[in-house]
Amino acid sequence: MRKQPIQKRAQLTIEAIFQATAQLVERDGMAGLTTNKIAAKAGFSVGTLYQYFASKDEIFRALVQYSREAVLKELSSFLYKIETKTDAADIDPEMFFRQYIRICIKGFAIGDDRKQSMNRLCWLVETPEETTQTMKAMVDRLRACFKYIQHPYLSRMSSIRCYVLNRSLMGCLRSTALERVEIEDPQEFEDAFVEMILGQLQLNATVS
């Protein structure tokens, strides 16, 4: 970005650019998308847009970073709350994974129309390197939480198992967003992820 949005008004301008970009791609596809069209859709001059972004690609890169950092921040906030609980070692694994998965579902796949269009665009323009960075941040933060709270079952989640968990989750959420899967029962969708992970934990306990 050419200019960092420090004031609230500038932040709203950036968000308007992101949302306009997502809506145009949703409606017309990537072909023919221009900074002029984005600015017009957002409701201001292309000169205002150029204060922040030099090109469409810069908008895409900033949008991915903005969206992914928002999810990582929410996940980290949730994990910090777990770590600061006096009874963290006794936390219910189902509750833990349900909340973690709920944040990921909203952040990477489904939500209201505005959120879904943003999610789809992020997956469309995200580079493999950006996906890898997000995955690494998720795995590292999750693993750090498990090590810290010393939970009798959650501590069984090694770095490899944390990677498999997040890769499986992200792969499914990516497909859900890009394939425009209609989730008739969001609760059942969430339950399916929770059951998969808890089943793995039970298997680990049996093997141990």
pLDDT digits (tens, 9 = 90+) for 41-64: 999 999 999 999 999 999 999 999
CA–CA separation, 207 and 196 (whole Å): 17
Q: Which amino acid is at 189?
A: F
Buried b (16+ CB within 10 A) or exposed e, 14-26: bebbbbbbbbbbe
pLDDT at 192 over 90: yes
pLDDT digits (tens, 9 = 90+) for 139-148: 999 999 999 9
Domain boundaries, the chain: 1-54, 64-207
CA–CA separation, 150 and 155 (whole Å): 6
The mean pLDDT value for 114-133 works out to 92
**pLDDT value, residue 204:** 52
**What CATH fold (topology level) applies to the domain 1-54?**
Arc Repressor Mutant, subunit A (1.10.10)
pLDDT at 94 over 70: yes
How high does pLDDT run on average in the chain? 89
On the 0-12 / 13-18 / 19+ scale of CB atoms within 10 A, 153 is middle
- The set of long-range contacts for 130-138, using a CB threshold of 8 Å and a minimum separation of 24, is 130/64, 130/65, 130/68, 131/170, 133/68, 134/68, 134/71, 134/72, 134/170, 135/163, 135/166, 135/167, 135/170, 137/72, 138/72, 138/75, 138/166
DSSP 8-state code for residue 2: -
- Residue 142 near residue 79 (C-beta atoms within 8 A): yes
Can you tell me whether residue 28 is helix, strand or coil? helix
Band of residue 206 on the pLDDT scale cut at 50, 70, 90: very low
- Residue 190 near residue 105 (C-beta atoms within 8 A): yes
CA–CA separation, 166 and 171 (whole Å): 8
The mean pLDDT value for 103-118 works out to 89
pLDDT digits (tens, 9 = 90+) for 153-165: 888 788 888 898 8
pLDDT at 205 over 50: no
**pLDDT value, residue 5:** 57
Q: Say which CATH architecture domain 64-207 belongs to.
A: Orthogonal Bundle (1.10)
Sequence-distant (≥ 6) Cβ neighbours of residue 134 within 8 angstroms: 68, 71, 72, 170
Can you tell me whether residue 10 is helix, strand or coil? helix
